[in-house]
Structure 1
Amino acid sequence: MFFLTVLLCSVAHATIYYVKSDGNDSSNGLSWSTAFATLQKALDVYTSGDQIWVAKGTYVPTSTYGLGDDERLKHFRLKNNVKIYGGFTGIETSVNERRNFGVGQENETILSGDIGEKGWSFDNCYHVFYHPVNLGLDSTAVLDGFTIKGGQADGDNMHNFGGGMYNSSSSSKIVSCTFTNNSAFYCGGGMYNSSSYLISTSCTFTNNIAQTGYGGGCIYNEQSFLTINNSIIWGNIACEGNGNQLYICGGGITTLNYSCYANGINDVHISNGTFTATNHDITSDPMFIGSGEHPYLIYGNSPCVDAGNNDYVTEQYDIRGSGYPRKLDKTTGKAGTIDMGTY
């Protein structure tokens, strides 16, 4: 009876906080009509077990978390026991009602480091997400349904790593996100992991850059366990270092399951690490559309279509909404196998 009472109290006190680009941080954030304007406000007031729903639009970091006065130190941080969902229109009552939140689509929800002059990266945040060693994130920290872009890690020390996301002794789950147009001066343009454990499912990593240093244009994985499921890693660049897509070192272990990755010259670099690609992974061009409303969409002739694993995904629908079941056969249109990547 005591356990049941505690469980019911825990459920009863779970709260959804809402964020909209036209919201107001002076509101209570408890409905779409009283939504906050910034993601940071929701992160400031959450309690364990809460969810944060973020409507379409572009949101930038507003807090340096006490790191200093430099505007470029502003960043977001995931929190334990909080699930952050993007991709809403701003009227939904269920996470499964989200639709059309891919890159360039009407409900795309962008977390951007572009805090300065728009279109110029020299004054962008060093990281869109920054998780230093003392946070202790675990797998209850979940990010789902966002485009992560505009991180420019060209500062000093650790601010040279992980433009899109920096993780040190942190663990989290990243779902249905696209990491694109992030840069690091030294390592890990899209993501930097050190002594961390991360799981990424149904994500797309493309067009991220490591400018110098060791490399890892997309992901630098040092002394970390990284598992990537049903995802696409393609078109990232390590300008002067190694590993356009992946740099694995320091005993790091990277495992790809049912994913597509570039495996040409200098795409995957292993230095005292382990890289496991299963026989269900592919190294063929994912054949992104490349332009138009949603450039990272794949069509029926892509090798990534119907090539994922349904067991990794619980969502009923893909990012185009209820008219597009997540697990759909490309030929018959009936229940089938999930695609690789965000779509």
Structure 2
Amino acid sequence: MLYVRAGASGANDGTSWANAFPTLQDALAVATSGQQIWVAAGTYYPDEGDGQTDNDRSSTFLLRENVAIYGGFAGNETALEQRDWLANVTILSGDLDQDDTPNFGNRANNAYHVVTGANNATLDGFTITAGNANGAWPNNIGGGIYNNNASPTLRNLTISGNQAGVSGGGIYNNNASPTLRNLTISGNRATSVGGGVYNNGGTPSFSNVTISDNQANWNGGGVFNSSSNASFANITISGNRATNDGGGVFNNGGTPSFSNVTISGNQAGVNGGGVYNSASTPSFANSIIWGNNSQVSGSATYSYSLVQSLNPGGTNLDGTDAANDPRFVNPILATAAPTTTGNYRLQLTSLLINAGDNGANSSTTDLDGNPRIIDGTIDLGPYEAMPAVLSISRASASPTNAATVAFTVTFNMPVSGVGAGDFVLATTDRQNGATISSVAGSGSTWTVTVTTVADATGTIGLNLVDNDTIGTTDSPPVPLGGSGAGNGDFTGEVYAVDRIAPTVTLSSPAPNPTNSTIPVTVTFSENVSGFVAGDLTVSNGSVSGFTGSGATYSFTVIPDEQGDVTVNIGADVAQDAAGNGNT
């Protein structure tokens, strides 16, 4: 094991964190086959270290065969699994004189290639940025990573802000078959082709990769495949731009394959905003091509896929039918490219959920790191829909005076493990004492029954609190919202509960005794309905001019003869909004 930590003191011999090498080049110079190099958070430049020439644009981090380099350490770990490469950002930068400005400013003296690959090498947990391949060949290709006849394993990398004078602003693979997994390739530029990635020959394997905000001034804003049999699985290619053809992908020869890929929000100045195929026979399975300024130019084979404005038939969805819109969570317009914005997960109501072919899948996880197949059938695109609550709705009318009320909880797929502990009541007023009395159901529909408080008013709402006890019926079960308590929380509907009966009083301004008609006012304690003149029982008189609504009514009693006149109102002749009859 060799250790690297920027600014390290001690012996600087790489034998421990305390004695770490201060530069990555120092570790690469002495690393032998089978060793690992652990690199702490910080920024490292290829012209720094023993044997390097300051500001030498040809300097590069040359990977070593059979040596694995891991970034993302805080500088005190004793096991690889303790590192957090997302929190402990470790940068390999080509900004040799450390004066770059936004939008590729001050790049004239940057390194041509930040990283140069080697067979059987591993690079894992880094941000690779500020490469500027603008020299003479081969220093005009592969600004971020340059793999020439080299097939390293590249994992957990962000490749951003690199450029090339010809091709492969982010990555250039020439007759190379690297394994590339869990990458973000964004904000890279190429003057000619392959703003994000250029593959020439070989069989590079991309999985769980986001390719966005890349730009080529000619063809292939996101990816350019030249006679390459590259494979792409669980990939989002979005927000890329090509001045000419192939905003997302340009395939020139070869037979690249795409499975569970979403290509959306890309722009081309001429043809193939999503994909441009020239003398190439790409295949697409479980994939979505939708929302580009134009979709596909040239022929391809499709299975279990959706291509806007195209109906390939067979197992594919009809892309000419607007009803088959993928329903992305938050797609972008292609005119916004180049950009990294957009959310290409599927809404829970998308028809593309459970619409794919399991046999075309080669991954155990989706682009979010969640299990790839949930609820039996794979979804289209790189994201698998997680179990989630679709609705928590009242099962009966509101307001109500019922002793119990029920809520219907609907999930987007069959789940198990649903219990009272997964819910909380949101109550007001005197219904604060309401309790959950039962939870029953199966599959995707469950009923939660709540006992209300007698002789009390208030509201009762039901909310689900995700504590990862609810999961799918898969083995092992996938928790609600995917791993992580709280990401499946849901706020449900609310009942207005009124279990207090309205009361009634009668009053009259007439003197007692009187020798005239008697005006009477009826006042209920709340608004009621159903109260009519026929609900009055009058002795020694008759009712005239009955009128009113809500809580107040009035009428006149015309006495029949001398003597007492009485007016009575029976119980339950008028009802409040909850159905309580008056007392």
TM-score normalised by length of structure 1? 0.74
Of 10, 27, 30, the match for 1:42: 27
Specify the code of the residue in structure 2 equivalent to 1:58. T
Compare 22-31 and 70-79 and name the one that shifted more. Answer: 22-31
Of 175, 189, 197, the match for 1:209: 189
Take 2:11 and 2:57, find their aligned partners in 1: how far apart are those partners? 25
Q: Summarize deviations over 1:252-302 as a string: whole Å, max 9, x none.
A: 112111111138853211111222111x222246979xxxxxx9899xx65
SS in 1 for 2:26: helix
Take 1:18 and 1:78, find their aligned partners in 2: how far apart are those partners? 16
Take 1:25 and 1:154, find their aligned partners in 2: how far apart are those partners? 39
Task: Check if 1:29 corresponds to 2:33.
Answer: no
SS in 2 for 1:303: strand
* Counterpart contact for 2:162–2:187, Cα < 8 Å: yes
Match in the other structure for 2:40: 55
Match in the other structure for 2:207: 229
Match in the other structure for 2:110: 124
Take 2:163 and 2:36, find their aligned partners in 1: how far apart are those partners? 29
Task: Check if 1:273 corresponds to 2:254.
Answer: yes
Specify the code of the residue in structure 2 equivalent to 1:216. G
Instruction: Point out where structure 2 has 5 or more consecutive residues left out of the alignment.
Output: 101-105, 266-328, 332-338, 348-352, 354-360, 371-383, 389-465, 469-477, 484-583
Larger radius of gyration: 2
Task: Check if 1:245 corresponds to 2:197.
Answer: no
| Identity score, percent | 33
Of 333, 343, 364, the match for 1:311: 364
Match in the other structure for 1:78: 63
Take 1:63 and 1:36, find their aligned partners in 2: how far apart are those partners? 11
* Counterpart contact for 1:258–1:309, Cα < 8 Å: no
* Counterpart contact for 1:73–1:125, Cα < 8 Å: yes
Task: Check if 1:261 corresponds to 2:259.
Answer: no
Instruction: Point out where structure 1 has 5 or more consecutive residues left out of the alignment.
Output: 1-15, 132-136, 289-294, 318-326, 339-343
Specify the code of the residue in structure 2 equivalent to 1:20. R
Match in the other structure for 2:94: 113
The alpha-carbon deviation at position 311 of structure 1 amounts to 2.9
* Counterpart contact for 1:201–1:312, Cα < 8 Å: no
* Counterpart contact for 1:284–1:303, Cα < 8 Å: no
Higher RCO structure (Cα 8 Å, ≥6 apart): 1
Take 2:30 and 2:330, find their aligned partners in 1: how far apart are those partners? 42
Take 2:125 and 2:141, find their aligned partners in 1: how far apart are those partners? 23
Of 135, 146, 166, the match for 1:155: 135
The alpha-carbon deviation at position 53 of structure 1 amounts to 0.4
* Counterpart contact for 1:64–1:73, Cα < 8 Å: no
- Greater strand content: 2
Take 2:77 and 2:49, find their aligned partners in 1: how far apart are those partners? 31
Cα RMSD of the aligned pairs, angstroms, is 3.5
Take 1:130 and 1:64, find their aligned partners in 2: how far apart are those partners? 17
Take 1:20 and 1:67, find their aligned partners in 2: how far apart are those partners? 18
Specify the code of the residue in structure 1 equivalent to 2:135. G
TM-score normalised by length of structure 2? 0.45
The alpha-carbon deviation at position 113 of structure 1 amounts to 0.3
* Counterpart contact for 2:25–2:49, Cα < 8 Å: no
- Greater helix content: 1
Take 2:76 and 2:346, find their aligned partners in 1: how far apart are those partners? 32
The alpha-carbon deviation at position 93 of structure 1 amounts to 0.9
The alpha-carbon deviation at position 303 of structure 1 amounts to 1.3
Match in the other structure for 2:508: none
